[in-house]
Structure 1
């Protein structure tokens, strides 16, 4: 059996340390099973594209059927077997628990995170947690490095439930847009002002612009708008018992 480390125990120790780091990264990347996932972009005809209406993916047939009843649209099947609903709406009410939102910057390679930070300090590996992450100081430079795949980009995971049908369980939306990350501190401030879960609206804004060279461009900007306390919203929906006696 090949043993390239037989004469170099230091190299073997370094390799084992890297493998342990990879296993730890895999463990960190494992998340609870979600009943559905909102998507604001994906691959269309082999090319990345942003959507003007929400796309929802789920592995469950009963869930996609219920979602279609709520939001309209068309259902298809993804290569991995998931059901895909391309809805007919760009605005969907959701229930959000601010304490469960996860936000960081991640750079991926081979399906695993190779750089995780909070914008200033490393979040992994454990031995380096808290050390300066080395990301550029200026936001534009961070964006450029991420665009060139030489630096991390936003990874904001928002667990959500649907007020129209809570029995569908918990889904999620993973935001990777820099515009969403720039809004996040203000969104979190609005959520912090609410006691308990919040009623919010996940919204897609279609933006059109012209470049300096005169080219017409467009993109979709995702938003999370905080509406009110979910408990308050429920209370407001309860009709008073004012029916006349018989």
Structure 2
């Protein structure tokens, strides 16, 4: 899995460092050293070019409004993957999952990693085994002349799908049009904890001559022309208040009773739908406890506003809230 030696003009990210802390994002972030590239990315994917606050990183960043971007990947060579174990800021193990890639004296020898992916993950959790590093190279389908970008990730989910991805790219036999997506995953653990995060997904669509151009975002209709004729005023229904979550929160525990009440108000049938509907703006992170109080406040506000709007219309709101055992 070798990659093009062409200089890559930018990189896609799923997160950033914000005030010294890692922050997961719900839309792609793009960094580059080229101001013109940053301006083009903003015009294509939304956002505004700004100075990158990360020390030693590219000069510019764009926080886009897109969680999915149509790209062109030049066959299987656009994918590189290996396994790495770091210790004391240096690589002590690098392999392809079955054979060593370095150091040179061990290259080609069995690396000793377990054959099953689940066992590899457990070894990595225990600090005994390496984690995946996947590097994708691509061009943006709407503006391939900008040059090549890349995306690096340690996602086990994407690593597990590499074989299928490579086969799909091989079948295209040339440049392949793909969707690079930050897919939202939401679920409830057995302990009743609501968890959500974004995982990278690559979907191979076909060759450039068989995939229609991506539909641009719909533009807002222009204002109606002024008319000298008097218009009859119509009374508009008031817009319902919509609570917003200003910052992405971390993965946190959510009470089962609170999920049941949210399900009653939102009309959802299970915990996953409830969490998706009420917490769709939440992106998982690593710091669970920091945002717990803030998240509970947001969920409570959602339930209160919806309850006030539906009071008297939904008799289920007057029923006792089920307990966790119900």
Query: Shared fold by TM > 0.5?
Result: yes
Shorter-chain TM range is 0.7 to 0.9
Tell me how large the CA RMSD over aligned residues is.
2.1
Matches within 5 A, 1:26-65: 33-65=7-39
CA contact (8 A) 2:39 2:48 kept: no
User: 1: CA distance between counterparts of 2:187 and 2:10?
Assistant: 32
Could you say which structure has the larger radius of gyration? 2
- The answer to which of 109-118 and 172-181 deviates more is 109-118
* Residue 95 (1) aligns with residue 72 (2): yes
- The answer to which of 224-233 and 120-129 deviates more is 224-233
Q: Normalising to structure 2: TM-score of the pair?
A: 0.58
SS in 2 for 1:230: coil
User: 2: CA distance between counterparts of 1:196 and 1:113?
Assistant: 34
Q: What's the CA shift string for 1:70-99, capped at 9, x where partnerless?
A: 000243322335211111011101110122
Segments of 5+ residues of structure 2 without an aligned counterpart are: 214-326
CA contact (8 A) 2:78 2:138 kept: no
Query: Match of 2:253?
Result: none
SS in 2 for 1:123: strand
Shift of 1:32: 5.8
Q: Greater relative contact order (Cα 8 A, min sep 6): structure 1 or 2?
A: 1
SS in 1 for 2:178: strand
Alignment partner of 1:171 out of 132, 137, 149: 149
User: 2: CA distance between counterparts of 1:132 and 1:168?
Assistant: 41
Larger fraction in strand: 1
Query: Match of 2:235?
Result: none
Q: Normalising to structure 1: TM-score of the pair?
A: 0.75
Matches within 5 A, 1:1-80: 33-76=7-50, 77-79=52-54, 80=56
Shift of 1:141: 3.1
User: 2: CA distance between counterparts of 1:64 and 1:147?
Assistant: 37
User: 2: CA distance between counterparts of 1:143 and 1:55?
Assistant: 27
| Number of matched pairs | 205
